[in-house]
Amino acid sequence: MYIIPAIDVLDKKVVRLREGNYNDVTTYDISLVEQINNYYANGTELVHIIDLNGAKGDFSNQEYLFDIIRKTDMKVQYGGGVRSIEKVKELIDAGIYRVIVGTQAITNPSFLEELATLNKGPVKYADHIVIAIDVLDEVIKYSGWQESSPVKLMEYIDKCLALGFFRFLCTDISKDGKLGGAGVELYKKLLDYSPIIKLIGSGGISSMKDIEELDALGRMESVVVGKAIYENKITIEEIKEWNLKTLIKF
């Protein structure tokens, strides 16, 4: 299980939200460029970058973010405001390693169907897609966690798998930003439900003990860690040591 450091960006600043609440923001005194370089210098191969403006339909950050991402050698897992097939293709063709799709995949019934057709050409786009499932009490949330979907969690997973999308980023909203531990029960339920999904956990990680608890599930592909790094609960050196032991190559 690989640890992926997270960088959330709001108004061009590195921040963390508590339970997705844009009115409960912690801003950190470090730039996006500095943080990417910090991770890269310490051996991290993959970073998770979320445009929080984009997640709620404000695309004022995108040019700033894309300019920085194009200039880094870091593999980037990117999300926030990916609203069209054209944007997915643009990002992957530009070198983004993984593109996270969330709101559009939930609200537009044809979006995933159309995206699935892009896997028939020379570029296997589905291999670079991460399906975001942000969950609160087993209800899927979207639009920056402001809206609730009527689609049942397991039904949505079945639909995605049937279309060839197998990698999921699951955020347990009840845990996010609280440093109170990860959503182990939710992740176990998802892993037990489907033996073929590649699951990335997110939310609530507060210590290396939490990392070990998730790793003990046996089939977690990776875990996103954000606030615990900024609050000095987990050090970059600990992440580097852990990732070197995983022997997972992205």
| Half-sphere exposure of residue 152: CA atoms within 13 angstroms, side-chain side | 3
Structure tokens at 214: 């998730």
Q: Is 156 in contact with 140 (CB distance < 8 Å)? A: yes
Question: Residue 171: beta bridge partners?
Answer: 134, 202
Output b/e per residue, 18-52; b: 16+ Cβ within 10 A.
Answer: eebebeebeebeeebeebbeebeeeebbbbbbbbb
Cα 100–Cα 109–Cα 78 angle in degrees, nearest 5: 10
Task: Give the residue numbers annotated as catalytic, written as ranges.
Answer: 8, 134
